[in-house]
Structures are given as C-alpha cells and as structure tokens.
Amino acid sequence: MANLTIRNLSKSYGAVRALDNVSLTVKEGKLAAVLGPSGSGKSTLVRAIAGFVRCDSGEILLDNRNITHEKPELRNTAMVFQNYALWPHMTIYQNIAYGLKLRKKSPEEIREKVQWALELVDLQGLEDRYPKQTSGGQQQRVALARALVVDPEILLLDEPLSNLDAKIRYRLRFEIKKLQKRLNITTIYITHDQEEALSIADQVILLNNGQIQQEDDPESIYSSPNNPFVAEFLGASNVITADILEDDQGLYVLLGGARLPVPRGKKPHDKVSIIMRADEVSQDREALGDSSFYTLKGRISEQMYLGAKRRYEVATGEGHTLLVDLEKRLPTDADIELYIHRDKLYIY
Amino acid sequence: MQPRAAVKRPSIRVSDGQREAVSGLVLVLPALLVLCVLYIYPLCASIAGSFVSDEGIGLHNFAKAFTLYGTDILFTIGITIITLVLVFVVAVLTASFLRFRNWPFLNFVYRLPLFIPYLIAGHTMRVFLAPHGILNILISRVTGLSDLPGLAFSWIGLVITFVWKQFPLATLLILGAFQSVEDSYIEASLNLGGNKVRAVWEILLPICRPTVLVAMVLTFVSTIGCLTIPLLIGPSKPVMLPIDMAFRINYMGDWGVANALGVISYLIVIALSMYYLSYTVKKEDA
Amino acid sequence: MQNVTKSKWWQTMILKTIAMVLIGFIVFGPLMGTLLWSFAEKWFWPAAFPQELGLKYWKIAFTGQSPVLDSMAISITIALIVVVLATLISVPAGYALARFNLPWKRILLVLFLMPQAFPQLPVFINMTSIFYRYDLVGTVPGVIAVHLVISLVYSVWITTAAFKSIPVTLEEAARNLGASRLRVFFRITLPLATPGLIASSIFVFITSFDEFTGTFFIGAPFIQTLPTLMYTASMGYNMQYASVIAILLTIPALLFMLVLEKFLKAEYISGLGV
C-alpha cells in the first residue's frame, strides 16, 4: 500500500500528445477513477504507471520510491487488463499462482495464498478449470485475484468491467469497491463510464486530450464542473451556446427570457456556454424554497417517454432547445415555465 | 399440349444439408482425383512394394534394409534431430526478438533462405563451405591459418545447410503465432514480476504450442525426406536415407529395398506425428 | 545528461551495426559465393576475390552455345501450365472447402497437405514405375503431373483461406438483391479472392520452377529443366556455369518475395495454422 504521486508526466506519439503534463496524487488506500473518452490518454496513464509505456518526461513515485525508469517487472504494481489476459494454457489456480511462483514463494505459502485469493473473489471450487470454461464475470474476478495475490503496492484496473453485461457490471462494481476498502489498497480505476466512476471512486480524475480537466471528489466534480467539457462528460444534457448581449446595465445572455450574468473577461458578441442538467429543472416553484432561481419560459416541441419520467424538448423564444426531464405528463405545444437554482446553471 | 404433371419426375427427398455436401464434393472432386491418382496410388504402391521381394512376400526387404543401411538409418535420425533442435532454437530466438522489437532489417532479411530452393541452397553451401570455399578464405585471411578443413561433405556442413534453409519457415510460422498473442498476455506476466525470457518460455510458447509443433513437424519431414542437400553437400559415408533409396533404384534396380527404406522413413514421421496428434487430442479434451 | 544519452546512442548504433553485419553475413554470405562464382573467369585459392571477373559464362548461357535457354523455356512452360491446372482445380475445391458444409473437411485439407508433410521420394520412385507403364517417363506431361501434385497443397490451402477471409455477408447481400449463386461467385467472390489467387499462383509457379527431385526421376534424361541442368553442372564441378543457373533460378523467387507481401494477407497465413 502506498501513496502514488505523478509529476508533470508527458508522452507523445508523433504529433499526438497522449499525456500532457499530468500531475496527480492518490493517497494510500484510496480509489481514484480516471475518467475520459477514448483517446483521452487514460490507458496511456495507467500503462505508464505499470511501466509498459516509457514517458518523455515527468516522474512517477510510489511513496518515496521513484519508479519512472524501473522495469515493469520490478515495480510491484498489479494490473487487471481490459481483456483480463488470463493465460489460456493455465488453469485458474495456475494463473493466480504465477505471480507467487515468480516471487519464489514456498509451495505451502503459494497454496495458502491462492486459497485466500480464491475466497476473496468467491471462486472456490473453480481452481482446476481453464479460463475459457468460465464466464466473463468469473474471468474478471480471476484477473482480480491474480493481481491481488502478490500484495501489490498499487492496483491498476484498466476498464475492468467494459467487456461485461450491464447487470454483472453493476454488481461487480460494488464488489470491487468492497474488496478495495477491505484490503485498503491504493487503486487506479480506468473507465469511460461516468456513472461507474462517480459511484465507486474516492477521487475522480477527468482526462481529455492528455490533460487533466478536473480532479475532485465525486460529488464536487459532479456538482461544480470546471468547464463545459467536464459538465457535458458527466452527463449534463444541455450545453447551449449563446451570444452575449449588451445594454445600459451591462453584459448579459438571454435564456428562456431569463437574464443571465456573463463571466468576467467576456466581450459583447462573444459566445458563452450555458450548461444545465435535464433533471435539475422543476415546475414546482415552492419546492425551491426561497433560494434564488431563474425562471425559463418556452414551449414544448417534442416529447419522449422514458419510463419513470418524460423528456421534453422545450423551445425558447431565443431559438434554443432545452432538454428537460419531468414526471408530469404535459401536452406537446403547451407553454411551460421552468425554475432552476441559480447555482445549478453554469455559464462559461 | 400435354399437362406437365404427366411427366412426373421421381421425387427423391433430399435434405438441404445432403445436397450441399454432394455439390461440395463435386467441386472438390477434380482436385481429389488428381491427388488420389498421382499421390495416394504411388504412396500405396510404395508401401505394398516394400513387402515384395525375389523371395516372395514378407519382411525380407526390411531385413536387408536394416543390415545394409542400419548406420544410415541412425545417421538420418541423428542429423534430423540435431537439425530440429537447432532450427527450434534459432527460430524461437528470432521470433521472440521480432515479437518484442520491431527491426525491419531483420524481419526482412531472415526470410531470404525461404525463397532459395533446396537445390540452390545445397549448391551455394557447397561453394561456401568447401575446403577452399569463401568461408575458409575469409577465416584464413582474418586468422592467418591455412589448410582449414572444409565443412562441406561432412555432417556439420549438412546440418548447417539444413538449418540455414529451414529456420526461416519455422520463424515465419512461430512469429505469426507470437504476434497473434495480444500484448496484454505478455504484459500480465511482466506486471507480476516475470521477465521477457520467462514470458517467451512460460506464456508465448505454451499458448502457441500447436503452431510450434506444426513448424517442427514440417522441418522434420523436409529434413528427413530431402535428397538434394545430402547429395550436394553431405558426407559420402554414412549418408541420409533418400540417397540410399535413389542408389537402390538407379544402380541396383532394387525397388523392394528402396520401398522398405521409404516405409521406414514414413514410420519415423508417423511416430512424430502421433506425438503431435496425441497432444492436440489431449488439449481438446481439456 | 545530454552526453550520457549520446554515448548510449553510439553504443546501440555500434551494436546494431555489428549485428547487421553478422546477420547479413549469415544470410547473404553463402549466396555471395555463388554470385561471385558466376562472374569469375579465374579464381584460385587462396585469393579472397576472383583474379579475373567477366561475363563469359553469362554469355555462354545466353547465346545458345548451351542448353540454358532451352531449359529455361521448358521450365517456364511447365510452370505456367501447372499454375493454370492448379488454379482450375483449386478454385472450385477451395470454394467448397471454405463455404460448404462438407463432411470430413479437416481430413480433406490434411490429405492435400500430405505430399508436403510426408517424405516425397518414395512416392516419386513409385510414380516413375507407374509412369513407365503409360510411357509418361521422360515426357513433359509426366513432369507436369509431378509438379501439379506437390504444388496442390499451396493452391488448395491458399484459395481456401482466401475464400474464407471474404465475409459471407457480402455474398448474402448480393443474393438478397436477386443475383444467382453463380453470378455472385463470378461478380463478387472471385474478384475479392483475387489477391489470394495471385498468391497461390506465385507459390505454385515457384514450386514448379524450382522443383528438382521429382523432375530428376520422372523427366530425366530427356526433359532438362533448369534445376536438373544446374544439378548436373554442380556435380561436375562446373562452378561458374552452375552458379549462373543457380542465380537464374533464384531471381524469380526473390522477385516474388518482394511482391508476395502484398498478396499474402496475414489472415491467409493464420488460416494455414491447423
């Protein structure tokens, strides 16, 4: 178990900057989710920590040990690969025991530790099967056991659940979290699924184009995104580009007839992005209490049934379209008035 | 006009699967026919012929083959096994190197001997390894030694030529298999504390075992059955079995013993193939 | 820091150069001897280089004072006929093996492999005695027959792999639009399989062009292909002459090595792995 520190890590493939001056710290025993779209550099980051990618510059430290130039086999990281990489010619038992054999443990110790690992991931009785004789979820857990059995200082999970069905994915997510807490192991968890990241991480790192967009705990990153990319990636359904207007009271933008403030440093006729989640809008003024809010007006142009709620497309007078989730059933073409907290509407 | 129904065809019910099998066989038939007439028939004739001699039907030819050519049989097996081991080592080393590191020069150059026919390989090594050949000229220039022994016409020259000619095919096959193993399988081993040598030995080779075995069987068969290379560069005594066969035919007109020697070489190959088959069967059971 | 990386760079460069020279010598060295001999008019031990170089033997080979041109014509004619025959019988066979639900498909494929995966010489010997009965020994058709059977494995296997690598959906799409099975084959499948058919033809051509042992038994002494001519020259220690023919025999194979990469797709090779 160790603290992971990364300082100014950069890696280019030709003209593509896979990692661009990335710095971050993960405290001992924490689970950090590295989130980002494909090609954002998240895989490069985890492969750099494991030692499979040689970086152009920067440092990687486990506690005070600088492992930047260490060979992969000497780093004592343990990785779970996206395709699990279970060796097809070895049984489950042999797969898990491999790392211990490399560490020249005694046969008794190997047997004991493998048993411990099998129990840990709840796979007792499967040790003599070959990987292809087990299900995807079981293979995933074997990969996890193989990584954990060697007492790594840090656990690296590279999209560990992306090859599984939604249902199993959901369940395994929490099993991984529980295990991680129980073993108190520093963990880097790569994923492109924002819900997965938010639900299990202590710390979310959002990457795009090789750069860290934001690093925060799940609630903060969700509730106060740094920029439109973060907001949109974390599931904001409305990203509206609007022109800045000016009158004698100063600069403003209009949305649904509401006058919104403009961030500092903008000039008239610049564009701003207005970001808003579909489910943070309400028709019920009372529910918002006496906190300050905006009132947005528009007309329902389209609707879609989503099960528990309905999604409406609302056209505003300025020609924008808002996506809004409401439980109430409303007719298309109805005029509608919506309320939203002032700090739930982000303007960049 | 006569109603169509009057010419009633016999209606044989044929399932789609059967029809497909039949039309498929019709398409394969020309190739199969060529193979049967030109290959299977002479092959059977060689086996049948091995039991026929002047003394009638029996094992006389085999008895004669073992007494006359016992040493040659052992020599053939020995040369073949040495070749096999060396081809395995060189091919696995080359394939491993190229699996881990992209070196276009080596990747291109190693294949060259693959495209040199056996006959040319024999001739070229005859020139290269002769007592006054290029290799000895170079060695004597560098070291100042003269009167170096020629490697041609010795078992060493024979093995060198076989390995030179045959390692590229083995490398090509093994490298192809190595490359079809995803990086993550190797990385998983390194990640747990292995090294590249162990990754090759414990991960790549076992995963690619079927292809490695195919490469080895092909090497084995083309070594044991090769006439040209032993003819051009082999020692004059003992000799490889194909030379004995050619000698029996061309100088003695003795088809029986030649066929017996042929059957002996089949048996050696079959023994090896059985090992291969038993392995694949075991694997499919698992 | 700069210096360290620079000296390391030098180290790798030196190592790389040494490795290149060594590998180059192992691979090219033997061939160099043959190449030099073909131009050597005088070369006596222990000179590292021929005393006199010249085109004498190349001229002899190409000016009709020798059977080289005749042999080359026979070799090329035989190889081309073998290519045509092999393609004609392998295309239907390969298509059936790739697409039809045939019984014993694996056994059939292994059967075609047998001439390459089993000692050939005893078969050649018995083929000779069978061919004697039909007066095929010492004739061009006899030699074509031997070449055909040993190159069959390449054409059948590579065409099978080529047809297999074409997604069935492409054929189904055309049939879905109303094309007949035959039309689909000629308009869709065959054009898509062309690289594979070219690769197969190349393999068959080289196999036939360079084949020695079978020709030696079936064709000798009346049919002199380039390989049998070279063998006679080499055994007679006619080094220059033999080397000239050796190079003539190697050139097509080397040319094909360069173009083959284009046609022999990776999936064909992986399709060959049993």
* Residue B28 to residue C274, Cβ atoms within 8 A: no
In which element (H, E) is residue B265 found? helix B255-285
Neighbours of B222 (CB within 10 A): 21
SS3 A271: strand
Query: What mean pLDDT is predicted for residues A109-115?
Result: 94
Output B156 or C179, whichever has higher pLDDT: B156
What is each CA distance from C117 to A228, B223, B231, C90, C207, in whole angstroms? 65, 11, 21, 19, 15
Residues with Cβ within 8 Å of residue A105, at least 6 apart in sequence: A113
pLDDT band at B283; cut points 50, 70, 90: low
Residues A155 and A188 in one domain: yes
- Asked if residue A273 lies in contact with residue A245, where contact means CB atoms within 8 angstroms, the answer is no
- pTM attached to this predicted model: 0.83
| Domains of chain A: total | 2
Q: CA–CA separation, B263 vs C126, rounded Å?
A: 12
Residues A68 and A109 in one domain: yes
Query: What mean pLDDT is predicted for residues B224-234?
Result: 91
Which one of A195, A230, A265 terminates a domain?
A230
- Asked if residue A10 lies in contact with residue A56, where contact means CB atoms within 8 angstroms, the answer is yes
Q: Which residues on chain A are in Cβ contact (under 8 Å) with B206?
A: 87, 89-90
Q: What is the pLDDT of residue C3?
A: 57
Which chains reach chain B with 3 or more Cβ–Cβ distances below 8 angstroms? A, C
Q: What is the pLDDT of residue B72?
A: 94
CATH code, domain carrying A125 = 3.40.50.300
Segment A3-48, tens digit of pLDDT: 999 999 999 998 889 999 999 999 999 999 999 998 899 999 999 9
In this predicted structure, the answer to whether residue C211 has a pLDDT above a threshold of 60 is yes
Tokens 């924008």 label which residue?
Answer: A320
Mean pLDDT of chain C: 85
Tokens 């068959």 label which residue?
Answer: C204
Q: Which residues on chain B are in Cβ contact (under 8 Å) with C250?
A: 115-117, 120
Strands A335-341 and B56-57: unpaired
Query: What mean pLDDT is predicted for residues A148-175?
Result: 90
What is each CA distance from C143 to C64, C119, C149, in whole angstroms? 24, 18, 10
Segment C111-120, tens digit of pLDDT: 888 888 788 8
Q: CA–CA separation, B246 vs B227, rounded Å?
A: 8
Tokens 């249902």 label which residue?
Answer: A167
- Asked if residue C199 lies in contact with residue C83, where contact means CB atoms within 8 angstroms, the answer is no
Farthest CA pair distance, chain A? 83
- Asked if residue C200 lies in contact with residue C162, where contact means CB atoms within 8 angstroms, the answer is yes
Residues A59 and A113 in one domain: yes
Q: Which of B128, A153, B233, B114 shows the shortest CA–CA distance to C235?
A: B233
Residues A179 and A55 in one domain: yes
Which one of A230, A255, A288 terminates a domain?
A230
What's domain C63-272's superfamily in CATH? MetI-like (1.10.3720.10)
Which domains can be identified in chain B, with CATH numbers? Answer: 46-285 (1.10.3720.10)
Backbone CA torsion sign across A115, A118, A122, A125: negative
In this predicted structure, the answer to whether residue C271 has a pLDDT above a threshold of 80 is no
Output A265 or A81, whichever has higher pLDDT: A81
CATH code, domain carrying A306 = 2.40.50.140
In chain C, what is the straight-line distance between the N-terminal and C-terminal CA atoms, in Å? 52
Query: What mean pLDDT is predicted for residues B197-206?
Result: 93
In this predicted structure, the answer to whether residue B286 has a pLDDT above a threshold of 50 is no
- Asked if residue A241 lies in contact with residue A272, where contact means CB atoms within 8 angstroms, the answer is yes
Q: How many beta-carbon contacts under 8 Å exist across A and B? A: 66
B242 touches C at CB < 8 Å:
yes
> Which pairs count as long-range contacts for A218-224, CB under 8 Å and 24+ apart, including other chains?
A222/A198, A224/A346
Q: And the tokens for B117?
A: 């026919």
Q: What is the pLDDT of residue B12?
A: 53
Q: And the tokens for A338?
A: 């919506």
Q: What is the pLDDT of residue C82?
A: 97
In this predicted structure, the answer to whether residue B8 has a pLDDT above a threshold of 50 is no
Q: Which of A55, C90, C147 shows the shortest CA–CA distance to B39?
A: C147
pLDDT band at B279; cut points 50, 70, 90: low
Q: Which of C179, C182, C155 shows the shortest CA–CA distance to C97?
A: C155
In this predicted structure, the answer to whether residue C274 has a pLDDT above a threshold of 50 is no
Q: CA–CA separation, B188 vs A96, rounded Å?
A: 11
Share in percent of chain B as helix, strand, coil (round to 5): 80, 0, 20
Q: And the tokens for C246?
A: 């050796």
Q: What is the pLDDT of residue A250?
A: 85
Segment A248-279, tens digit of pLDDT: 888 888 888 888 888 888 888 888 888 888 88
Q: Which of B163, B263, B175, B151 shows the shortest CA–CA distance to B222?
A: B163
> Which range of residues forms the domain containing residue A194?
4-230
Query: What mean pLDDT is predicted for residues B196-215?
Result: 90
Q: For residue C196, how many C-alpha atoms fall within 13 Å in the half-sphere facing its CB?
A: 28
pLDDT band at C173; cut points 50, 70, 90: confident
- Asked if residue C203 lies in contact with residue C79, where contact means CB atoms within 8 angstroms, the answer is no
Which one of A204, A230, A256 terminates a domain?
A230
Mean pLDDT of chain B: 86
Query: What mean pLDDT is predicted for residues A316-328?
Result: 89
Tokens 């903060």 label which residue?
Answer: A220
Query: What mean pLDDT is predicted for residues A101-113?
Result: 93
Which range (A79-88, A98-107, A217-226, B164-173) has the least confidence? A217-226
Helical axes A136-148 vs A107-120, angle rounded to 10°: 130
Tokens 């690769």 label which residue?
Answer: C199
SS3 B117: coil
SS3 B63: helix
Segment B90-148, tens digit of pLDDT: 999 999 999 998 888 898 889 888 888 899 999 899 888 887 778 888 887 788 777 77
Strands A310-316 and A321-326: antiparallel
Domain ranges, ordered by start, for chain C: 2-54, 63-272
Q: Which residues on chain B are in Cβ contact (under 8 Å) with A71?
A: 190, 195
Residues A245 and A278 in one domain: yes
Query: What mean pLDDT is predicted for residues C51-62?
Result: 81
Residues A75 and A196 in one domain: yes
Segment B35-83, tens digit of pLDDT: 999 999 999 999 999 998 888 888 889 999 999 999 999 999 999 999 9
Q: And the tokens for B46?
A: 């060689």
Segment C86-109, tens digit of pLDDT: 999 999 999 999 888 887 888 888
Among A72, A82, A88, beta carbon nearest to B190:
A72
Which chains reach chain A with 3 or more Cβ–Cβ distances below 8 angstroms? B
- Report, in angstroms and rounded to the nearest whole number, the Rg of chain A calculated over CA atoms: 25
ipTM of the complex model: 0.83
Dihedral angle, C-alpha C178, C183, C184, C188, nearest 10 °: -130
Q: Which residues on chain B are in Cβ contact (under 8 Å) with A50?
A: 187, 191
Q: Which of C100, C81, C84 shows the shortest CA–CA distance to C185?
A: C100
Strand arrangement, sheet containing A154-158:
A77-80, A154-158, A186-191, A31-35, A203-208, A211-216
pLDDT band at A348; cut points 50, 70, 90: confident
Mean pLDDT of chain A: 90
Residues of A with CB under 8 A from a CB of B: 50-52, 71-74, 76-79, 81-83, 85, 87-90, 98-99, 102-103, 130, 146-147, 150
Q: What is the pLDDT of residue C266?
A: 56
Q: Which 8-state DSSP code applies to residue B113?
A: G
Q: What is the pLDDT of residue B6?
A: 43
Q: What is the pLDDT of residue B243?
A: 93
Neighbours of B130 (CB within 10 A): 22
Q: Which of B215, B40, A62 shows the shortest CA–CA distance to C149?
A: B40
Q: CA–CA separation, C40 vs C239, rounded Å?
A: 9
Q: Which residues on chain B are in Cβ contact (under 8 Å) with C97?
A: 24, 28
Residues A219 and A243 in one domain: no
- Asked if residue B191 lies in contact with residue B263, where contact means CB atoms within 8 angstroms, the answer is no
Segment C217-264, tens digit of pLDDT: 998 778 899 999 999 888 887 888 888 999 988 888 888 777 776 666
What is each CA distance from A216 to A32, A173, A277, in whole angstroms? 10, 20, 19
Judging contact as 3 or more Cβ pairs under 8 Å, the answer for B and A is yes
* C260 to chain B: closest CA residue: B115
Q: Which of A81, A63, A61, A75 shows the shortest CA–CA distance to A147?
A: A81
Q: CA–CA separation, A259 vs A254, rounded Å?
A: 5
**What is the percentage of chain A residues whose pLDDT exceeds 70?**
99
Backbone CA torsion sign across C110, C116, C119, C124: positive
